[in-house]
Structures are given as structure tokens and as C-alpha cells.
Structure 1
Amino acid sequence: MENLTQKKTIELISILYFSTALLFLIDEIFKINNLFHYFGLLRLILLQILYIYSSSKRNYLFITILLFVIISNFFFQSKIKSFLVYGMVAYLINRFLSLALVYKSMRKKRIIPFLIGSFPFLFFYLYIIFLIDEFYVFNFLVILFNAILMSLLGGIALSNYYLENNDISNKNYLLLISIIMFMMQNLIFILQKYYTLEKIFEPINIALNTLSLYIFYRFIILSEKE
């Protein structure tokens, strides 16, 4: 009975998470109400609650990662330009902790395959970065460090997916999908900030962010069950 209640509660929180994200996305498109803008942060808080409730081990590193996701999103949503710097720093911390968490969750630490798998992702990032004509040195360093961290995450995800078990039900499949989605968000962010593209990409970014975080959460839950 207790397991059934927990399962239904998890389903309810999951529905609330995606419903809140949907309202946030709709508001981004149609600008319905300023209050809906805060739903972007609310969905992240719901995801943290979802993890704390559904996890049997309570990995405090992942909880800290979600906290920095909330902090970075808060700064990125602000219209104050100086807050963008704080958001970038919080985002970098989030990515560094994510790398540590993912590496720690791997049963076999294969350094060489990790590094080899990182090169395609790093080349992709460097190509995009060096297309940018003008940016501040600080912004360049933040983007470069993010590229390195994300490339390492991609290398871990790719190598483990192919070396362990490339089944779609495997946790490494979820990790690979979430990392690819994170990278797509990075690409959209860079294009929007430095190529002044239309805001049409923002709803896509919200959808990717919502799905990638949930998939990453599922990866953590499956890792804890092993």
C-alpha cells in the first residue's frame, strides 16, 4: 500500500512538473501573464521535490546540482545585465558538479574511452565558439570552460553507452540523450546571445530544458538502484 501511494505521488509530482513547464512555455509564446514567468523556477523546485521524494538514497550532490540549476535560471531570467555573469558562474558550477556526479556513478572508470569520446563534442563546441566575432574575455572563458565540461560529459555518456550496453532501456541511453539535449540548449543560448536570432528559439529551449532535466533525473534514479 505504501509503495502504491508513493508511486501515485511520484506520478502526481511528475504531472505537475510537466504542466508547470507547459504553462511557462505557453506564456513565453503568448505573453499571457507576468506571473507565469515564475513557473520556470517553480518547475525546477518541483523536480527537486520529485527527486527527494522518489530517491531511496538522497544523493546530496544531485540536490546541490538542482539548486545551482535554479540559481542559474533565476539569474538568466532577470533583465539586469550584470546578473548574466552570476548566471554563467552558477551554470559552470552546475556543470562541474554534474561531471563529478556522472563520473562517480559509473561502475567502470575508463579514462581513455572517455577522452576519445569527448573529442567529437569538443570539436563541435570549438567550431561554434570561434564563429563568434566579438565577446568579452570573461564570457569567452566561461563558454570555453563550459565546452570542456560538456565535452567530457558527452565523452562519458557516449563511451559508456557503447561499451556497457547500448540498449534503450539502459541508464546510459538516458544519460546520452540528456547530454545531447543539454548541448542543443547551449547552441541555442550562444546563437541567441551572439547572433541576435529571433526569440522563436526560446520555447524550443524551454522544452529541451524541461525534458533533459527530467531524463537526467531518471538516470540518477536508475543509477541509485544498481
Structure 2
Amino acid sequence: MVFRHENIRITIIAALYFAVAIAEVMCELYAYKPLIYVFKPLMPAMLMVLYFNTSRKRSALFFIVMTLSLITNVLFIPDSQDLLFYGLVVFLAHRILLLYYIIRLLKINDYIPAIIATIPFLLVYFYLFMITNGIPENSFVVLIFQNILISFICGIAFSHYVMQDSRRNSWLLQCGILFGALHFIVFVEKFYLTGFSPTIFRPMAMGLNAFAFYTFYEFVMATEKSHRDDARSIA
């Protein structure tokens, strides 16, 4: 009975997360900033609540990654170049920790497949970077590191799925695809089409963001379960 109540609670929290995500996408579509300031940071906060109620391990890294995502979401709301720069810096720290967390969860020993799978993403993102005009000088180096980090995350996701089609790696693949698409959309909106980007970009980015972080949560949960199963088999 207790287990059933826990499942109901987790289902309700997950449903609330997607309700908040849908509300945020609608607010972005109509550019209603008062509620955007509420719903946008609430999304990573809801995922932290979901993880806290679901995970037995409750890794501090998960909460740090989500907290940095929350701060980034707030800094990306205003149309300000200064806040955009600070948002990119926090986002860079977020991506570094996200990558570290993924590597730690996967316990990667051989990086060669991931490096090979990273190359196509590097080519795409740096081609877009090179043909884009008007990138602020203070954001130049940060964006270069952003491109490298997201390319490596996508490379790890694809290489692990190709080598082993497991539940964990399936969630990671979905996470990598969504994070890669999100990076592309945000870059195009913020820099490539700056000043005249279509209004659909922000709702699209927030939709990708919502699903990307939910698949990341599922990847973390599947990996933690896999580690527990491995520990039982050894014992």
C-alpha cells in the first residue's frame, strides 16, 4: 500500500511538471513575461522535487545541475546583452557539470567512440558559429566552449546507444538529441537571427528544454537502478 501511494505521488509530481512546462510554453508563445518569471524557474525546481521523491541516492550533483539550470532560465528571460553574457557563463558551468555527471554515471573508460561521434556535431555547430555575425566579443570564448561541450554530450549519447541499446542508453540518446536541438535553436534565436527571430523559437526552445531535462532525469533514474542491480549481482 505504501509503495502504491509513493507511485501515485510521483505520478502527480510528474504530471505537475508537464503542466508547468505547457504553461511556460504558452506564456512564451504570447510573450507574457510576468508568468514566464514564475514558470520558467519552476520547471527545474519541479524536477528536483520529482528526483527527491523518486531517487534512493539523491545525488547532490543532480540538484546542483538543476539549480544552475534554474539560474540560467532566469537570466535568459530579459532581452539584455549583459544578462545574456552572465546567463551564458552560468550555462557554461551548468554544461560542464552536466557532462561530468553523465561521465560519472556511465563510468566511461574508453573515450575513443565518444570522440569519433562528437566530430559531426562539432562540424555543424562551428559552421553555424563561423557564419554568424554580431556575436558579442565577451561571449565569443564562452560560446566556443559551449559548442565543444554540447557536441561531446551528443557524442557520448550516440556512441553509448550504438554500442549498447539499453533502457539507460535509450534515455541518454533522447536526452542528447533534445539537448543538441535545444542548443541549435537557442543559438539561432539569440545570435543568428538576433533582432528579428520568429516568435515561435522561444516556445520551441522551452518545449525542447522541458523534454530534454525530463529525459535526463529518466536517464539518471535508469542508471541508478542499473548500478543497484549490478551491486546486487556482485553481492
TM range, smaller chain: over 0.9
Secondary structure in structure 1 of the residue aligned to 2:81: coil
Q: Aligned in 2, Cα 1:64/1:32: closer, same or farther, shift over 3 Å? A: closer
> 1:87 Cα shift?
0.9
Paired amino acid for 1:179: G
Instruction: Please name the residue that 1:135 is paired with.
Output: 135
Structure 2 Cα separation of the partners of residues 201 and 32 of structure 1: 15
How many angstroms does 1:107 deviate by? 4.2
Partner of 1:126: 126
1:99 maps to which residue? 99
TM-score by length of 1: 0.93
Identify which range, 107-116 or 141-150, moves more after superposition.
107-116
The share of aligned pairs that are identical, in percent, is 30
The amino acid that maps onto 1:191 is: V
Measured after TM superposition, the shift of residue 31 of structure 1 is 4.6
- Cα RMSD (Å): 1.6
**Contact 1:117 1:158 (C-alpha < 8 Å) held by counterparts:** yes
The answer to whether structure 1 residue 192 and structure 2 residue 154 are counterparts is: no
Give the letter aligned to residue 181 of structure 1: L
Q: Quick one: distance in 1 between partners of 2:73 and 2:108?
A: 33
Q: Deviations over 1:146-174 (max 9, x none)?
A: 11111111121111111122x5xx21111
1-structure distance, mates of 2:47, 2:30: 25
Distance 2:31 2:126 in 1: 35
Question: Within 1, Cα distance between the matches of 2:131 and 2:82?
Answer: 24
Per the alignment, residue 110 of structure 2 pairs with 110
Letter in structure 2 aligned against 1:98: L
Q: Distance in 1 between matches of 2:32 and 2:147?
A: 35
1:154 aligns with 2:169: no
Cα distance between partner residues in 2 of 1:113 and 1:8: 40
Q: CA deviation at 1:119?
A: 0.6
Secondary structure in structure 1 of the residue aligned to 2:56: coil
Is 1:13–1:50's contact at 8 Å kept on the other side of the alignment?
yes
Which sits farther off after the overlay, 76-85 or 120-129? 76-85
Tell me the CA shift for residue 108 of structure 1: 4.5
- Counterpart contact for 1:150–1:183, Cα < 8 Å: yes
Are the aligned partners of 2:72 and 2:88 in contact in 1 as well (CA < 8 Å)?
yes
Pairwise mapping of residues 1-226 of structure 1 onto structure 2 (< 5 A)?
Answer: 1-31=1-31, 34-35=34-35, 37-165=37-165, 170-194=167-191, 195-196=193-194, 197-226=197-226
Q: TM-score by structure 2 length?
A: 0.89
How far did residue 36 of structure 1 move? 5.0
**Highest relative contact order (Cα 8 Å, sep 6+), 1 or 2?**
2
Unaligned runs of 5+ in 2: 227-235
Matched length: 223
Change beyond 3 A, Cα 1:111–1:124: same
Contact 1:24 1:37 in 2 (8 A): no
